[in-house]
């Protein structure tokens, strides 16, 4: 028989169990309602959201003396916005507000270097993984240059944007502009411009830059680098000339030469051609193309396709 002291304790446990069950029931109902709500009323896409303030001039006045704090807030919002759109990784991903957010951030703090540089990277990323707006990336960096004319990093970043787009001539031009900013390290920016020109196939301009470096009396290691790059450009010119010979041979005989000896017998060459380091060039007998030997100290060439 249950004692009178046990009955209140059992009743307390029963009330506790019922309360816990009720909590679980309510939690399940809340989850179910949330699922129904999300199916019927999906959350607005980030691109559909609106900025409360879109004018940099207005927001700088509204921020009063809290410009730096407001800039940090907008920068965080820009990162979050980019991250949400980036995670979608689909053609429908939208980045409409990314530039306005970065524009407001840098209006509040014109010296916000990370916002300029990383913001430009976000904008220039190819879609669907990024915004695909290199034009806006360049506009943001030009704004940074106007506010911070002593920062060589911004023209360098503009060059990098063009490099990623495959416009090597513009990229090299901006790398050279960066090298001309006071305090910039010419020991690698000018060579970078020369290499970029060669990558784009502009051997003549690249050679001019390397010759200027060689004649400038810079450090010994830089002169050695210039000498090596000039020899590589000589190899590029030699390959172009040899491929003109193989193309002419194919035009006359119907097939490209299978070996260098065929060109020698045909009178086009005096012997097996060698690169400026003394290593024989490699002839592809199927296509008539010419490359460096991989054991040559000049390999690889700075030009993907020297033709």
Q: Which residue has the higher pLDDT, 302 or 229?
A: 229
Give the burial class of 237: count Cβ atoms within 10 A of its Cβ; 0-12 exposed, 13-18 middle, 19 or more buried: middle
Mean pLDDT value across residues 52-67: 52
C-alpha–C-alpha distance, residues 53 and 10, integer Å: 61
pLDDT at 99: 94
Rg (CA), the chain: 33
What pTM value is reported for the model? 0.66
C-alpha–C-alpha distance, residues 31 and 197, integer Å: 60
Whether residue 251 has pLDDT greater than 60: yes
DSSP string spanning 139-195?
HHHHHHHHH-TT-THHHHHHHHHHHHTT-HHHHHHHHHHHHTSTT--HHHHHHHHHH
Whether residue 63 has pLDDT greater than 70: no
pLDDT at 219: 78
Supply φ then ψ for residue 10, to 5 degrees: -65, -40
Number of H helices and E strands in the chain, helices first, is 12, 2
Q: Which residue has the higher pLDDT, 145 or 7?
A: 145
pLDDT at 65: 52
**pLDDT confidence tier of residue 213, bands split at 50, 70 and 90:** confident
pLDDT at 6: 46
Mean pLDDT value across residues 238-266: 95
Whether residue 48 has pLDDT greater than 50: no
Residue 65 CA, distance from chain mean position: 35
C-alpha–C-alpha distance, residues 234 and 73, integer Å: 54
C-alpha–C-alpha distance, residues 284 and 186, integer Å: 40
The residues, any chain, with a CB within 8 Å of residue 249's CB and separated by 6 or more, are: 256, 257, 262, 263, 266, 268, 288
pLDDT at 83: 86
Altogether, the residues listed in the chain come to a count of 307
153-185, pLDDT tens digit by residue?
Answer: 999 999 999 998 989 999 999 999 999 999 998
Mean pLDDT value across residues 217-228: 83
Supply φ then ψ for residue 144, to 5 degrees: -65, -40
Whether residue 2 has pLDDT greater than 50: no
**pLDDT confidence tier of residue 10, bands split at 50, 70 and 90:** very low
Q: Are 80 and 129 in contact (CB under 8 A)?
A: no
96-152, pLDDT tens digit by residue?
Answer: 899 999 999 999 899 999 999 999 999 998 877 778 999 999 999 999 999 999 999
Give the burial class of 240: count Cβ atoms within 10 A of its Cβ; 0-12 exposed, 13-18 middle, 19 or more buried: middle
The region of weakest confidence among 64-68, 165-169, 202-206 is: 64-68
Whether residue 280 has pLDDT greater than 90: yes
Average confidence score pLDDT of the chain: 81
Whether residue 33 has pLDDT greater than 60: no
Whether residue 200 has pLDDT greater than 80: yes
Q: Are 239 and 198 in contact (CB under 8 A)?
A: no
Q: Which residue has the higher pLDDT, 218 or 145?
A: 145
């Amino acid at each position: 028989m249950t004692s009178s002291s046990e009955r209140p304790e059992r009743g307390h446990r029963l009330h506790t169990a019922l309360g816990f069950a009720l909590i679980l029931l309510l939690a399940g109902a809340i989850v179910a309602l949330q699922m129904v709500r999300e199916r019927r009323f999906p959350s607005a896409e980030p691109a559909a959201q609106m900025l409360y303030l879109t004018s940099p001039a207005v927001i700088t006045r509204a921020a009063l003396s809290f410009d730096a704090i407001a800039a940090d807030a907008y920068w965080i919002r820009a990162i979050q916005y980019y991250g949400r759109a980036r995670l979608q990784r689909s053609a429908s991903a939208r980045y409409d507000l990314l530039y306005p957010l970065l524009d407001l951030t840098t209006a509040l703090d014109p010296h916000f270097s990370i916002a300029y540089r990383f913001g430009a990277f976000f904008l220039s990323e190819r879609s669907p993984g990024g915004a695909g707006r290199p034009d806006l990336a360049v506009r943001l960096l030009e704004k940074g240059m106007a506010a911070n004319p002593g920062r060589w990093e911004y023209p360098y970043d503009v060059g990098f944007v063009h490099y990623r787009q495959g416009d090597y001539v513009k990229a090299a031009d901006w790398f050279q502009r960066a090298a001309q900013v006071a305090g910039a390290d010419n020991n690698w920016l000018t060579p970078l411009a020369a290499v970029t020109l060669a990558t784009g196939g502009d051997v003549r301009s690249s050679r001019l830059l390397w010759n200027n470096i060689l004649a400038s009396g810079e450090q010994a290691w830089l002169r050695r680098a210039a000498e090596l790059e000039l020899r590589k450009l000589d190899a590029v010119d030699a390959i172009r000339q040899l491929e003109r010979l193989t193309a002419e041979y194919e035009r006359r005989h119907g097939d490209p030469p299978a070996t260098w000896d065929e060109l020698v017998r045909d009178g086009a060459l005096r012997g097996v051609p060698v690169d400026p380091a003394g290593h024989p060039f490699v002839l592809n007998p199927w296509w008539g193309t010419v490359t460096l030997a991989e054991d040559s100290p000049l390999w690889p060439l700075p030009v993907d396709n020297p033709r």
